[in-house]
Amino acid sequence: MPKAKYFQKLSRGSLRCNLCPHYCELAEGERGKCGVRKNIDGKLLAENYGLISSVHLDPIEKKPLYHYYPSASILSVGSVGCNLSCSFCQNCDISQTTVDDYPWLRQHTVEQVLAYNDQYSDNIGIAYTYNEPTVYFEFMMDLAAESKKQGLKNVMVSNGYIAAEPLREVLELIDAFNIDLKAFNNEFYKKFADARLNPVKENLKTVRMAGKHLEITNLIIPGLNDDEKEFEEMIKWIYNELGEYTVLHLSRYFPAYRLQYPPTPQETISRLFEISKSHLPYTYTGNLNFSPGQHTLCHQCGTLLIERKNGYLTKIKAIDDKGKCLTCKTRILKYVKP
């Protein structure tokens, strides 16, 4: 089990993990909030290193990334653990567990994961996803370094809850991000995720400033984060701090884990979709069959550029190999499939 990065020794065998803004202080034998980093003999160990819970070839739209090599496939890997504990987690079986309590993990080396690519000729790279990749930081970084050498892309699907220094390291290897912005309300983060909003906002700005591809997901939960005023405040913040063409996915909530509210009404999503679209032209909807929220239309001339069905069935309609709209020649996408 390899030694984890980003920790400092404290007194009497205890230590502090500096990987994420929880900065857990761990006595000998204790695990952090993420459940997968443990103090053994005064050293922090990455218990889930190389332990894979799932590996699949997925459409990139499933991450979701809609403006990054649309219609491409990506090898998606995950482990166990998460530094957040969202009451509504859809992946709680792998996020809210430990390596001891999840018997289906399979040990992999970096080379073994990369070998899956031999089966998939149209794969553009590796997505670190399913559980929170920050908590398998060391394996993600080792894998990302090797995959980059092979000319593959690296994608991180994250809650954005990582400390500044490891994020700088991540930015050297990860090409594209989908980051959750769960609500624009610190109380929500505290009560439903045991975290804070501010580090996520700061990290979104850092990723944007670094020039990496960034898309955001906001899961809409009825009565918890669907207040129109608060939602519009979030949209304006995205517009001002991250830019008008930031891609935003509004996702419909379904009951999961500890939160058993009824699913978000479709009307709520379509109302918030309209508010968002009036500021951010590249707003999409997910987890529901709402056609206007699936397609990509040129923000300049309104041409249908990319048609999507059920979110993942993607047809490129009117975009050239440089990512420009075929009608008005405006550059829409930076990354298109060769």
Which residues sit at the interface with ligand SF4, rule CB under 6 A? 17, 19-20, 22-24, 32-34, 37, 82-86, 89, 91, 95, 131-132, 135, 159, 193
* Closest by Cα among 6, 63, 71, 64 to 338: 71
Question: Which one, 61 or 132, has the nearer CB to ligand SF4?
Answer: 132
Residue 298, classified by CB atoms within 10 Å of its CB into exposed (0-12), middle (13-18) or buried (19+), is: buried
State which residue, 63 or 324, has the beta carbon closest to ligand SF4: 63
Q: Cβ of residue 162: shortest distance to ligand SF4, in angstroms? A: 8
Q: Are β-strands 313-316 and 304-309 bridged in parallel, bridged antiparallel, or unpaired? A: antiparallel
CB of 206 to ligand SF4, least distance (A): 18
Vertex 233, ends 232 and 238: CA angle to 5°?
95
Q: Which is nearer to ligand SF4, 6 or 66 (CB)?
A: 6
Exposed, middle or buried: residue 181 (CB in 10 Å: 0-12, 13-18, 19+)?
buried
> Which residue's CB is nearer to ligand SF4, number 85 or number 123?
85
* Residue 57: both structure tokens together: 């070839």
Residue 94 CB, nearest approach to ligand SF4 (Å): 8
Rounded to an integer, what distance in angstroms lies between the CA atom of residue 214 and that of residue 223?
28
- How many beta carbons lie within 10 A of that of residue 38, not counting itself? 22
Q: How many CA atoms lie within 13 A of 281 on its CB side?
A: 13
Q: How far is the CB of 232 from ligand SF4 (least distance, A)?
A: 24
**Residue 34 carries which side chain, given as an amino acid letter?**
C
CB of 87 to ligand SF4, least distance (A): 9
Nearest to ligand SF4 of 34, 216 (CB atom): 34
CB of 253: closest distance to ligand SF4 in angstroms?
A: 11
> Which of 215, 336 has the CB closer to ligand SF4?
215
* Residue of this chain nearest to ligand SF4 (CB atom): 32
Cβ of residue 237: shortest distance to ligand SF4, in angstroms?
Answer: 20
Environment class of 101 (CB within 10 Å of its CB; exposed 0-12, middle 13-18, buried 19+)? exposed
Q: At what angle do helices 266-277 and 228-242 cross, to 10 degrees?
A: 40
Alpha helix stretches (DSSP H) within the chain: 92-95, 110-115, 137-149, 164-173, 186-193, 197-209, 228-242, 266-277
Q: Which is nearer to ligand SF4, 4 or 114 (CB)?
A: 4
Nearer of residues 134 and 268 to ligand SF4, judged by Cβ: 134
Q: Residue 177 CB: number of other CB atoms within 10 A?
A: 26
Shortest separation between residue 135's beta carbon and ligand SF4, angstroms: 5
